[in-house]
Amino acid sequence: MHGLNNNIAVDARNIGKIYGTGNEAVIALGDVSISIEKGEFFTLLGPSGCGKTTLLRCIAGFETPTSGSIHLSGTDITYTPPNERPVNTVFQSYALFPHLTVAQNVGFGLKMLGKPAADIAKSVARVLALVKLEDFADRLPAQLSGGQQQRVALARALAPEPEVLLLDEPLSALDLKLRKEMQSELKRLQTETGITFIFVTHDQEEALTMSNRIGVMSQGALLQVGTPHEIYEHPVNRFVADFIGETNFLDGQVDNAQVRIGTGDLLDVPLGDHKGLVTLAIRPEQVSVEPQGTGIAATITETTYMGTDTHYKLSLSDGSLIVARVQSNSAGARSAGDVVGIRIDAAAVQVLKS
């Protein structure tokens, strides 16, 4: 029974959330069960509308699940109002109080908890130092840049030292450079504070670089939970493989211990117990481009020089398309129209049920 494990911060069991009734009913969450460990940086990843934010709002208490239960450190909080949950949220829109200074915003949670003013001041100073905003304590949110507002939102949610910090796509409003900075900043804060982070994003790169574990969601269902490495290397299905990084898909048929693809070529992939029709998920970096006559015959349809890497779009003899990513220096000068051969690192290929 994982419920008895006191290493679990959030334990959501069979969460369903349906909006509306009858014909207008929309299923936001199907039947989601998830256990998030204490001190973990856990990311809920999926396209918009997949239910990840709804799940986060259920944990925060802004939504009540239609079915299922949520436990926080072993206590059932399914119907506990948000103000009684030791959980804080960093909102996508920041939702800073415009009439309060930075210090008052950050101290808000502690003030509501009835902490003495001296303790609040001390906590606020400590947390502002943590996000490097010591000099901005007396400013109003409107006087800060987007990145600074983001840090205030973070400090405000960290100040009451919640058991779990929920982050709802907090970096989506920032420009690329600032986002990269905040990614490592968040990772640092999580390590320093030891607080469990549940981070919601649709950005797979963000998820891969920051998380201890990732839960991939689609259409209200949790498809796969695992470390970034597991999710990237061993996606459970086509959706996960496609969503996490660029992936080629080739249909094939199991032929003895190998897979015969559309061109007639046999690939010695790790089959497991797959039988019949299968789909091979092949990462672009697992495809190498060789001189004509070696491997599988292919024609280059497009080349894209990306600096260190070059991307080739190739067409196989059965018409299927495949993308290869090779190091530029070893690529030679190949161009569209060239007939080449490709080799697929068969051992690294993922076999999925068709």
Partner 1 sequence: MAKQRAFDVTTLPGFTFIAILSFVLLYAPIATLVIYSFNGGNSVNQWGGFSLQWYVVAFNNEAVQDAAARSLIIAVWASVISTVLATMAALGTTRRGKFKGQTVIYIILNQPLMVPEIVTAVALLIFFSSVKVVTGYTGLGYLILAHSAFCIPFAYLPIKARLEGMDTAMETAAADLYATPWQTFRYVTLPLLLPGVIAGAMLAFIISLDNVIITEFVKSAGQDTLPTYMLGQLRRALTPEVNAISTALLALTVLILIVFVFVTKKRE
Binding site for partner 1 (CB under 8 A): 60-62, 81-84, 87-89, 91, 93, 95-99, 108-109, 112-113, 156-157, 160
Minimal distance in Å, beta carbon 180 to partner 1? 26
Of 95 and 121, the one with the shorter C-beta distance to partner 1 is: 95
Specify the residue, 21 or 256, whose C-beta has the smaller distance to partner 1: 21
CB of 152 to partner 1, least distance (A): 12
Query: Residue 17 Cβ, how far from partner 1 at the closest point, in Å?
Result: 16
List, as one string, the DSSP characters of 236-285.
SSHHHHHHSS--EEEEEEEETTEEEETTS-EE----TT--SEEEEEE-GG
Shortest Cβ 103–partner 1 spacing (Å): 14
Task: Indicate the residue among 84 and 135 with the shorter CB distance to partner 1.
Answer: 84
How far, in Å, CA of 207 to CA of 204, rounded? 5
Q: Smallest distance, Å, CB 24 to partner 1?
A: 13
String of DSSP letters for 8-58 = EEEEEEEEEEEES-GGG-EEEEEEEEEEEETT-EEEEE--TTSSHHHHHHH
CB of 340 to partner 1, least distance (A): 53
Nearer to partner 1, 12 or 87 (CB): 87
Of the candidates 42, 83, 44, the one whose C-alpha atom is nearest the C-alpha of residue 61 is 83
Spatial distance between the Cα atoms of 228 and 203, rounded to a whole number of angstroms: 13
Q: Which is nearer to partner 1, 113 or 277 (CB)?
A: 113
Whose Cβ is closer to partner 1: residue 61's or residue 228's?
61
Closer by beta carbon to partner 1, 108 or else 312 = 108
41, 64, 70, 160, 166 from 58: Cα distances, Å: 18, 6, 8, 20, 11
CB of 94 within 8 A of CB of 149?
Answer: yes
Q: Shortest Cβ distance from residue 195 to partner 1 (Å)?
A: 15
Cα gap 186→192, rounded to integer Å: 10
CB 275 within 8 A of CB 253: no
Please choose, from the candidates 243, 231, 178, the residue with its C-alpha nearest in 3D space to the C-alpha of residue 48.
243
- Rounded CA gap, 197 and 183, in Å? 13
Tokens at 121, concatenated: 């001041």
Q: Which is nearer to partner 1, 170 or 252 (CB)?
A: 170
C-alpha span between 56 and 59 (Å, rounded): 5
- Cβ at position 120, least distance to partner 1 in Å: 12
